Structure 1
Amino acid sequence: MSQETLLLLLWLTRISAILVPGCSLLGLPALPSLYFEGDVNIGAVLSLHTEEHGKINLFNHKPEPTSCFRFNMQEFQTAQTLIFATEEINNSTDLLPNMTLGYKIFDTCGSVSLAIRSVMALMNGFEEKLSEKSCSKAPLVQAIIGETNSGPSIGIASTVGHFATCACLSDKKKYPTFLRTIPSDYYQSRALAQLVKLFGWTWVGAIRSRNDYGNSGMATFIEAAQKHGICIEYSESFFRTDPREEFQRVIEVMKRSTAKVVVAFVAQGDLIPFLNEMALHNMPEFQWVGSESWITSRSIAETKQFNFLKGALGFAITKAKLDGLWDFLVNVHPSKSPNNSLVKEFWETSFQCSFEKMQNQYTAVSELRISSKVYTAVYAIANSLHNIIEDEKSYTNESTIPDFNPKKVKCMVTSKSFSEYTNVEKIYFDENGDPAARYELVNWQPGEDGTLHFQPVGVYDTSLFLGFHFVSNFVSQVPLSVCSRNCPPGTRKAVQKRKPLCCYDCVPCYDNASITAASLTFADANDCMPCDLEYWSNEKRDCCVLKLVEFLSYTDMMGIMLVLFSIFGTCITFFVAIIFFVHKDTPIVKANNSELSFLLLVSLKLCFLCSLTFIGQPTEWSCVLRHTAFGITFVFCISCLLGKTVVVLMAFRATLPGSNVMKWFGPIQQRLTVLFFTLIQVIICVLWLTTSPPIPYKNMQLYKEKIILECNVGSAVGFWAVLGYIGLLAVLCFVLAFLARKLPDNFNEAKFITFSMLIFCAVWITFIPAYVSSPGKFTVAVESFAILASSFGLLFCIFTPKCYTILLQPEQNTKKYMVGKTAMKGF
């Protein structure tokens, strides 16, 4: 823990005297600075001075006593609070009745060697003159309230135990006797990491004391910060005795950095010389986050040259109020302790006419933080001793002072909580000898007098669900400290080479992926989230929107044009049928096999209308209808043309002498031929629909940003069987018509059938590559266009010459003209 922050309660697990007759004094004895002999005594090791005069021992003469300087007001207040607690207990009739509690307080000057020497004196006793009984005396104290600094405490740990806030002291294997009344820095470091994360500071600098307190606390903070996605730009350490050049080096590192937040896990004694050097430089503004060692230091806050610390945040030891302590403190006077040089030095340091008018750290009792912990420690010791006495009385019924076994004392203090006789707080220890972790979050705000004041803004308590609880009216403006600003929605983080994870570039999300503003609040939102199959990222890539659904619609211009052509073709076919019906008794209609002509016109109407099934949103029934209607109607149409072609050929052979072939190709045979060829296609379609029919299908592979609604043909064999059968009949019809194209006649219909089959085959041959290469709804448009084009080709090639003759050249619509030189009966 830091200097003057956290007090530890320390129990001796084994203090034994070695009986050695005729022992001799090997060095000068260590004497307490403040002491009072009681029936039972407790020891204390405090830094009543902050520095010692450095001396070099040459080992050729006995070392001179160590002298200390720089009187420590805060630590002297702690010592007086300990005395106040013991006197309060001695005046109590409930706690340790008929017994006085004494104290032995040693000054370590913050030195590890003096701390060990003081503890050894508490264990073995101290006398200026040695006697025969000196080496056989019992231990002077039953417990020791240890150093407020982690360094000296660790130095004496192997000897007896200690107290401070360093998390390493919770290791019961190494320090089995160590208890403390202040939380371990393990919790403070983790709380600082959560605090930094809470404000979104992902890019911070770190400075620490180069000792156990700073090194251990900062190591825990960095470990916790990394788990929260916080990056440390730099981590520098220093010590109060470092040369000025070392301070300047650290300051230059801070000036060159881009982090706007500095986490300072520094002991107060180390921080003050560093701040003095910083005040000489033109430093940029930083948001300071401090450890409890200095975050409530009035000596720092009230120094106007340290105003650059305004806005500092940090966790402080919870404060307490001790009734009567102020009156006790101001009554300390050299006249009451004429032989105590420490009290005299305190008086001279205070340099005031009267204590009632004195205002310094010593008399500041409104927010007791450290001193209240030593008060709690004394009461915990007294409670445990009291409970041991009560247990002994229940067995022996005697009021004598029992033999306090250290192991029993330690067991008693760790097995119970103590609050009955103290007006501060309930204290208990867990299995690691640590109390509950509670901190007060304070904010340094400038006051009207130009100094900085501590404003409580929240608490941290491990017993709370989230650990944090903030009060309202926190800070008006939170600074930004990041290596890279948050990527805007629609972009993702790309880590920069050879830099921490907090340093990144913002690159746009890839296609079909996005990052929303909400997802950016999560630490793991470093990559774009792919959209669902039916969604697509918008242009800004900040959200997923439904993909456009595309199909050949009736409202599309292309769809409208196809509908118009389909209706136009149907109307023309109907108009031709009317002309043929009105002139059904004329030679040209009779000569062209009127029954097959009417069947052909009906099939052409169906061909024109079936193109409409390819327009509109595909559904189960429309997918089945469009393919089967197309296959059956076109086979019906070509079957009629095939029948007409066969009739032409047979009619020519019927004119030869002795031929009787036409009796086999009469009207009934012609109808059966058309029905037979059409029935085959119907059977193919039934098999197709039975095995694997066409179904609606969402094509998401063709375009990433839209969905193509189309009909999946289901069985490819069935689909190509339908087309193949149409092609087979068309080729057969074309071959027969081609063979009959030069038969003598003024109206040789085989010529027109041949030309119509050329157009039909040309349309569907070019349809195949166009169908395969056309994307999206254009595929359906190409198929619909091929149906209309082939239908118009058949209609115009077969019926235009006849309608022209009927309407515009009626003089040629006579039997005499039809027969000409080569009469062809039955044609």
Structure 2
Amino acid sequence: MIGGIVTHAGLISTSEKTFTEQPLPAELEDLVVVPKNFQNILALVFGIKEINENPQVLPNLTLGFCIYDSYNNAKRTYHATMLLLSALERLIPNYNCNLQNNLLAVIGGLDSQISLHVATILDIYKLPQIIYGSAPVMNDKTPGLTFYQMVPQEVLQNMGILSLLLHFRWTWIGMLIMDDENGERFVQTVFPYFSKKHVCFAFIEKIPKFRLISEFSGMFKHAAKIYDQMMGGKVNALVVYGDSYSLVLLRWFKYLPNIEKVTANPKGIVWIMTAQVELTSLVYQKDWDAEIFNGALALTTHSNDLPGFKPFLESRNPSSMKADGFIKDFWQHAFGCAFLDQVLGNEDEKVCTGEEKLESLPGTFFEMSMTGHSYSIYNAVYALAHALHAMSSLKLKERAMAGRGWLKLQNQGSWQLYHFLGGVSFNNSAGNKVSFDQSGSLVAGFDVINWIVSPNRSFHRVKVGSVDPQAPPDQALRINKEVIIWHSWFNQTQPLSLCTESCRPGTNKQLQEGKPFCCYNCNQCPEGKISEHEDTDDCHTCPEKKYPNENQDFCIPKIITFLSYTEPLGLSLAFFVLSLSLLTALVIGIFMKHHNTPIVIANNRDLTYGLLVSLLLCFLCVFLFIGQPQKVTCLLRQTTFGIIFSVAVSCVLAKTITVVLAFMATKPGSKIRKWLGKRLASSIVLSCSFIQTGICTVWLAMNPSFPDIDIHSVAGEIVMECNEGSVTMFSCVLGYMGFLSVASFTVAFFARELPDSFNEAKFITFSMLVFCSVWLSFVPTYLSTKGKYMVAVEIFSILASSAGLLGCNFFPKCYIILLKPELNNREHLIRRKE
């Protein structure tokens, strides 16, 4: 015989053979029934009926059953458990002489605490209990009680809920839990787990335990507080960890604004129900609107429809179930009528015909499809049958070998059934495999069910996904969100449940002080950094060869740049180089054509040609700076520029000194005349140039320039450049050239007032003034620019300073040679100012 302990909800004690009807105890008179749970009894009856009619399972054995009601009360639970262990209809502890009604196991009630009460007694007799509700909370004082659970391990359910929240990006949630140890355990388990995955709790409230109807009024103030938290904030997703009666209380929320003062307006909520929660109604709630739960998502133990169960339900009525002593109670509560033998003289009371149809009842009151709890009971019956079959087969073998009788099995076999349950593995009539893991939990996954509740009181469950226990945690959830029906409040768009709208890519999160980590501000990423995903904690820099786009949400490959002939800047500079080079060559041609004229002779022809050639080379060396940097061009560009410019400035310095010495030599008795001549000028040019050549030689020998790339200076560009190798040597080259320029400028400045009618020192002064101005402005400009524009600044300085030397020194002379030839005579040159 299989015993059943159920919770008061229309599940009243009965047996297939006998039953007794006793008045309720005084303390339970106000307790109301939940007719929907009558299906749990029918599932047990259906399972046992199938087994007894199947010769393949338990041949030559017949299963019976006896069901007692716990009335959700510890005292009555202990009493019912003792009745299961005693003779029928008589409570005599430890006495049961009916060997045909041998108790093998007990299928526990919905409430975990009831299962714990039952287990404390069954443990004495070593009888197994299969529970189909949530597992009781054990503590150090709890004895080593044995259970088998017809639900998967709770950790899988927790993982499924978290996966559901993350899938829909519901990170700001509320939670309702049972006001008992199970609820506390659930919070302690999931709180750190959910927080680690960035799910925050706006509030956690306790659902009062199922109470008597007379105590409801005291709970409304607490319910009003929960209502305001649910409806008044940004929370749109609410996790409910409850029992089968939780929604009986939550259904009051629809009508709470009419009972208690609330501040929040009603809105849609996505209810996320755990496996134990059922949408049920008390008798007085039969016609209540349950639309508040429309669109809820519930996790239920994986199940399929059982063939034959719906016809079995349809065949049940008071007329066909003479032995069922409590179907009449269910019938009267479900259909709101009374049988003739129970009518108390009220003429207005509806009389039950017994022909009422179960399918006409609202889905929240009674379902024709099997609920999750009923499915678990059905599987529990079959699990016990298969375990008993395995045990009896073993006993038959032992009897054949030892000659022992079947009586021994009856007297001593029950306590061994627990161990056989652990090895049970079979496929039920729906095709689902039933087996237990090492902890005694069902090896199965969860289905994700969408509750569809219509205003006309219809209630449908639609499977929209599953949680696979065999898959990796991040892939366990499979869901088809396209078929989900959301609450009408959301207008069939996926709801959001966020404390803060997601930070778009290109921004990062900044936590709000004093609030949970799900509440934050969104700040733009700093310059040069990006964030590619929403809700990024920190921005990061791009790889070296990439740079942020304008929105700072992804990296773009940098383009390779250098001062090229194909771009306008490079082409313009090349044009100026050619123009100035041709102009210099023209000046050289003019001077060579008028080689023997006084103005050419008077200005030291050798120095003049040396200066013009060096200026021509200065212009042409610019071509070393334009184009893609190569090893040869990098080696030559700065050294060539430094040496040629030093030659040019040295020529200017030599010309200036020659002018000064020539004037001083005209004084009577001057000994300076012997210093005049080509040797002095050549010595000045060679010595000054040699020093610069030495500096460049040391530079090339120690740390020469080389081709390099700069990926940091210019955003979005990889600049191909010549690395100068040694900044110190580059500074020395420029510094020495500056020294020569200052020296030339100083000497020319003091000689500018010499009395010649054509005083070259004036022009040298102007040319060196331009030269020094250009190179003094070059230094800050060069240091403040980046990339290819640094090269352009140096080229411009070379061209401008060279053009200044060319223009200031030679354009006046060309003017006289070409346009004023009458001035190009010796008399004019030696004429002094009066």
TM-score range relative to shorter protein: 0.7 to 0.9
| Shift in Å, 1:247 | 2.8
Shift of 1:393: 2.5
Q: How does 1:138-287 map to 2 (within 5 A)?
A: 141-160=103-122, 162=129, 163-167=131-135, 175-217=144-186, 219-239=188-208, 240-241=210-211, 242=216, 243=218, 244-281=220-257, 283-287=266-270
Identify the residue that residue 465 of structure 2 maps to in structure 1.
Answer: 458
Q: Which amino acid aligns with 2:806?
A: L
CA distance in 1, matches of 2:93, 2:666: 162
Aligned counterparts of 2:580 and 2:656: Cα–Cα separation in 1? 24
Structure 1 residues 303-702: aligned runs within 5 Å: 303=287, 305-317=289-301, 318-323=303-308, 326-327=311-312, 330=315, 333=318, 341-342=325-326, 345-346=329-330, 348-349=332-333, 351=337, 352-355=352-355, 357-359=357-359, 360=361, 364-397=367-400, 398=403, 400-403=406-409, 404-406=412-414, 408-419=416-427, 425-446=432-453, 449=456, 451-464=458-471, 466-471=475-480, 473-475=483-485, 476-516=492-532, 519-520=533-534, 525-545=536-556, 565-611=576-622, 613-614=624-625, 620-644=631-655, 674-675=685-686, 677-695=688-706
* Distance (Å, rounded) in 2 between the aligned partners of 1:105 and 1:316: 25
Cα offsets for 1:681-715 (capped at 9, x unmatched): 33432321232223455556666677776544221
> Is the 1:151–1:212 contact (alpha carbons within 8 Å) kept by the matching residues of 2?
no
Q: Which moved more, 1:390-399 or 1:550-559?
A: 550-559
The letter of the residue matching 1:108 is S
Q: Structure 2: give runs of 5+ residues left out of the alignment.
A: 6-11, 124-128, 258-264, 338-351, 486-491
Say whether the 8 Å CA contact 2:245–2:278 is kept in structure 1.
no
Residue by residue, what CA displacement relative to the aligned partner does 1:330-367 show, whole Å, maximum 9, x if unpaired? 456579757x7535544655654235744458985543
Give the drift of 1:310: 1.8
TM-superposed CA distance for 1:275, in Å, is 0.9
Alignment correspondent of 1:26: none
SS of alignment partner, residue 599 of structure 2: helix
Q: 1:96 to 1:797 in 2, by over 3 A?
A: closer
Quickly say closer, same or farther: Cα 1:794–1:152, change in 2 above 3 A: same
Aligned residues of 2:152 and 2:444 also touching (Cα < 8 A) = yes
- Distance (whole Å) between structure 2 residues aligned to residue 733 and residue 448 of structure 1: 102
Once residues 634 and 107 of structure 2 are traced to their aligned partners in structure 1, the CA distance between those partners, rounded to angstroms, is 91
Shift of 1:508: 2.1
Q: Displacement of 1:785 after TM fit?
A: 4.0
* Paired residues of 1:372 and 1:424 also in contact (CA < 8 A): no
Structure 1 residues 311 and 37, CA gap change in structure 2 (3 angstroms) = closer
What SS does the corresponding residue of 1:195 show, helix, strand or coil? Answer: helix
The DSSP-based 3-state class of the residue aligned with 2:503 is coil
Which whole-Å CA distance do the structure 2 matches of 1:710 and 1:660 have between them? Answer: 54
Partner deviation per Cα, 1:102-155 (whole Å, 9 max, x = no partner): 333221112233222322343465673869977999995232111121121133
| Further displaced range: 455-464 or 811-820 | 811-820
1:700-779, aligned counterparts within 5 Å?
711-730=722-741, 733=744, 749=760, 752-753=763-764, 756-757=767-768, 759-761=770-772, 763-765=774-776, 767-769=778-780, 771-772=782-783, 779=790
Residue 385 and residue 450 in structure 1: after superposition, are their counterparts in 2 closer, same or farther (change >3 A)? closer
Listed one character per residue, the Cα deviations across residues 164-185 of structure 1 (whole Å, up to 9, x for unaligned) are 4435569999654110222244
Corresponding residue of 1:29: none
Give identity over the alignment, percent.
32
Classify the secondary structure of the residue corresponding to 1:427: strand
Superposed CA offset, 1:64-105 (max 9, x none): xx7785455444443344344334434444433333333332
Change (3 A) 1:737 1:438: closer
Q: Which amino acid aligns with 1:432?
A: S
Residue type at the aligned position of 1:412: F
User: 1:24 corresponds to which residue?
Assistant: none
Deviation, 1:396, is 3.0
Residue of structure 1 equivalent to 2:342: none
State whether residues 738 and 750 of structure 1, in contact with CA within 8 Å, keep that contact through their aligned partners in structure 2: yes
Sort the Cα spacing of 1:563 and 1:123 in 2 relative to 1 into closer, same or farther, 3 A.
same
Aligned residues: CA RMSD: 4.5
1:34 and 2:14 correspond:
yes
CA contact under 8 A between 1:8 and 1:147: conserved in structure 2? no
Q: 1:278-309: CA deviations, max 9, x gaps?
A: 23536322222223334454889974512232
State how far apart, in whole Å, the 1-side matches of 2:371 and 2:93 are. 43
How far apart are the structure 2 equivalents of 1:750 and 1:534?
Answer: 54
Q: How far, CA to CA, are the matches of 2:64 and 2:54 in structure 1? A: 14
When residues 758 and 145 of structure 1 are mapped into structure 2, their CA distance, relative to the original with a 3 A threshold, is closer
2:61 maps to what in 1? 99
CA distance in 1, matches of 2:382, 2:327: 24
| 1: CA distance, partners of 2:673 / 2:398 | 140
Match of 1:41 in 2: none
Q: Which amino acid aligns with 2:497?
A: S
**Partner Cα distance (1:330, 1:751) in 2:** 127
- The equivalent residue for 1:17 is none
Partner SS for 2:173:
strand
The one-letter code of the counterpart of 2:274 is S
Give secondary structure in 2 for the equivalent of 1:233.
strand
* Cα separation, 2, equivalents of 1:75 and 1:438: 23
Alignment of 1:784-795 (within 5 A): 784-795=795-806
Taking the aligned partners of 1:820 and 1:246, their CA distance within structure 2 comes to 118
Amino acid at match of 2:150: T
- Partner Cα distance (1:743, 1:525) in 2: 76
Decide whether the 8 Å contact of 2:314 with 2:357 is kept in 1: no
Task: State the Cα distance separating 1:368 from its structure 2 match.
Answer: 4.9
Query: 1:744 Cα deviation (Å)?
Result: 7.7
1:289 alignment partner AA: I
**Distance in 2 (alpha carbons) for counterparts of 1:687 and 1:298:** 98
Q: Any conservation in 1 of the 2:107–2:380 contact (CA below 8 Å)?
A: yes
Measure, in 1, the Cα distance between the counterparts of 2:3 and 2:743.
Answer: 108
**Aligned residue for 2:51?**
89
Deviation at 1:433, TM superposition (A): 0.2
Conserved? CA contact 1:307–1:451, under 8 Å:
no
Superposition pairs for residues 797-812 of structure 1, below 5 Å? 797-812=808-823
Task: State the secondary structure of the residue aligned to 1:541.
Answer: coil
Preserved contact between residue 495 and residue 503 of structure 1 (Cα < 8 Å) = yes
Q: Which runs of 5+ in 1 are unaligned?
A: 1-6, 11-31, 39-43, 56-65, 823-827
Q: Shift of residue 602 of structure 1? A: 0.8
Deviates further, 720-729 or 548-557: 548-557
- Residue type at the aligned position of 1:431: Q
Q: Measure how far apart 1:783 and its partner are.
A: 3.6
Q: Distance in 2 between matches of 1:770 and 1:358?
A: 93
Partners of 1:345 and 1:140 lie apart in 2 by 29
TM-score normalized by structure 2?
A: 0.78
The answer as to whether partners of 1:379 and 1:422 remain within 8 angstroms in 2 is no
Q: Aligned with 1:206: secondary structure? A: strand
